[in-house]
Structure 1
Amino acid sequence: MLKIEKYGAVDIGSNAIRLLVVTVIEEQGKETLFKKTSLVRVPIRLGAEVFLAGKISDNSANRMLDAMMAFKLLMKTHNIKRFRACATSAIREATNGRQLAETVLAKTGIPINIIDGNDEAAIIASTDLKNLIQDDKVFLYVDVGGGSTELTVFATGKYVTSKSFKVGTVRLLEGLVDENIWEAMETWIKNETKEFKKISMIGSGGNINTIFKKSGKKIGKPLSYFYLSNYYELIQSLTFEQRITELDMNPDRADVVVPATRIYLSAMKWSGAKNVFVPKIGLSDGIIRSLYNEKKAAEMEVNS
């Protein structure tokens, strides 16, 4: 007998707000299936305002509230059983971020968990990442967002260490990343990977997913440093308008893809990684898995 429930995850990022709906299918004696049912992405670039002015404008706050109202209705229509909303650096750093979260709660009934970089890395680590991380290999996991980049090292199938840096695509676009932050990230990556002879990279985030999709590679096959480097040269040679018309990119992707690729390439160079795997895993996926793991833990407590 199958047990089927739908879970919802809201990711309030610096570049966009997303609602992921996943159908969770449980069958006794078999591995639980997580089927992505719907993904809605609204490109409200909260980080551009926060990183420049320190707060979210009334216009963006109203747009975010409208999006959250829409997400509430979508979750109701999908008959969502469990959901969670998480906000990252833009809301966390905005002087009016907590106030906006309280307004959203009052008007939609959706509580927003404002998380830090370490929380984000831990949530993402609860996903299917473990299926990619093999016992005999070493990986540097790089998750690039609009406001920050989360780095995690895995060796012999286990977590080693992680660190969050305020190096994000929106910050870079606005010229808000000091050279010393780049140097700190470079030093950290080199120090934490120097003892390993061979290392591969795992990349997550909307930009690397876009690059992977356009590469035509089969799922499970990595992108090489050579490919990513050539792609970086290509997008740098094109104007913002040309990336939209010639590479068929969305306008809110056509600008941030350049600094994002720079971050991935830098991480590969500093760690010595020759390949990057792109499993299409992000914060939303981690939220779903966290909700499921909490449910199973609660069931075990009841039955113990």
Structure 2
Amino acid sequence: MKVRKFAAIDIGSNAVRLLISNVLEVDGASPVFSKSSLVRVPIRLGTDVFLNGKVSDENAERLAESMKAFKLLMGVHKVEAYKACATSAMREAKNGEELTKLIKKKSGVQINIIDGSDEAAIIANTDLQALIEGDKAYLYVDVGGGSTEFTVYSNGETIASKSFKIGTVRILNEMVKHETWVEVEQWIRENTKDFSKISLIGSGGNINKIFKISGKKEGTPLTYKYLSSYYQFLMSFSYEERISILGLNQDRADVIIPAARIYISAMKWSKAIKIYVPKIGLSDGIVKSLYYSTIEGNKVVDTE
């Protein structure tokens, strides 16, 4: 038996995360992945980029300091290898490439700016495959701060996949046009119309939080009725009340509203009545792709 450690850094539009995972290798068995540590910093790069086109000096410094801290943590945990991926905000920032070079110089962390299709492909490396086996149809919805990835699965195969610039931070800053909502609706309806029965699979911090609050057992889906009712419940409180009365974190109390709206809309347009909420996301996909790349002998980024 051997335990190896890998890490993933997910630089999103709302928050920056460091996931450190243990990979248990036993002869004759599939590797077992388990979370060792998860650190989340709510820098909210999207607010800068979607409004002003670039990451502000203040948040650039916060991001650089976060990467320094993450590098130290990976060293303490004796992480074998890591990969850092930046999504919507960084790929749209005018100073995105410049910032990655600055952070590399300051912290030693190499950041890869990926597009929406790469993001969806990485997530597909997670335990999502275990959920989509069989003859059922699913619409996978990964809601981020700057974009949302939609993928339709049937009979264990990918039928269609697309990334839209419709995310929680964009919606909060009123930067999603009506036409974009229409485009998403048309895409979902068109790509799910042939399935008489379809379920959603939701990923992202907000749906994970809603699922946790529901008290449901892991593997049990939430219903369209429950999610719609909870959305109305959240809407009945002000931002301040969602923090003081409901106990939500400051950086969760606002984005949870538009996130719920996206999931509910996707369920409505696909005619799904259930949404499964496995704890998977970009970070999990990065770790798995990173691990398997070492097995195949491909080059990875080492922490030394």
Asked whether the two chains share a fold, i.e. TM above 0.5, the reply is: yes
Distance 2:60 2:135 in 1: 47
AA at the equivalent of 1:298? G
AA at the equivalent of 1:273? A
> 5+ unaligned residues in a row in structure 2: which ranges?
299-304
- Normalising by structure 2, we get a TM-score of 0.97
Offset, 1:63: 0.4
Structure 2 residue aligned with 1:13: 12
- Segments of 4+ in structure 1 off by > 6 A? none
- Normalising by structure 1, we get a TM-score of 0.97
AA at the equivalent of 2:130? N
Counterparts of 1:49-128 in structure 2, within 5 Å, are 49-128=48-127
The alignment status of 1:215 with 2:251, answered yes or no, reads no
AA at the equivalent of 2:276? F
Distance 1:40 1:73 in 2: 13
Distance 1:6 1:194 in 2: 43
Structure 1 residue aligned with 2:301: none
Offset, 1:258: 0.3
Distance 2:94 2:195 in 1: 42
Deviations 1:23-74 (A, max 9, x none): 1110001121111000000000100010000011100000000000000000
Structure 2 residue aligned with 1:131: 130
Counterparts of 1:217-296 in structure 2, within 5 Å, are 217-296=216-295
Deviations 1:166-220 (A, max 9, x none): 0000000000000001000000000000011100000000000000000000000
Deviations 1:77-131 (A, max 9, x none): 1111010000001110000011011111112111111001110000000110011
Distance 2:270 2:147 in 1: 19
Offset, 1:159: 1.3
Q: CA RMSD in A?
A: 0.8
Distance 1:136 1:121 in 2: 22
Distance 2:179 2:157 in 1: 30
Structure 2 residue aligned with 1:29: 28
Distance 2:144 2:96 in 1: 18
Distance 1:5 1:30 in 2: 15
Indicate the SS of the match to 1:298: coil
> 5+ unaligned residues in a row in structure 1: which ranges?
300-304
Offset, 1:134: 2.4
Indicate the SS of the match to 2:297: helix
AA at the equivalent of 1:66? E
Distance 2:258 2:194 in 1: 28
Distance 2:180 2:22 in 1: 40
Distance 2:133 2:88 in 1: 31
Distance 1:135 1:229 in 2: 28
Deviations 1:211-268 (A, max 9, x none): 0000000000000000000000011110001111221110000000000000000000
Distance 1:73 1:172 in 2: 35
Structure 2 residue aligned with 1:202: 201
Distance 1:23 1:293 in 2: 14
AA at the equivalent of 1:270? W
Deviations 1:262-293 (A, max 9, x none): 00000000001000000010000000010112
Distance 1:111 1:285 in 2: 18
The alignment status of 1:142 with 2:126, answered yes or no, reads no
Structure 1 residue aligned with 2:181: 182
AA at the equivalent of 1:62? E
Distance 2:192 2:38 in 1: 35
AA at the equivalent of 1:254? A
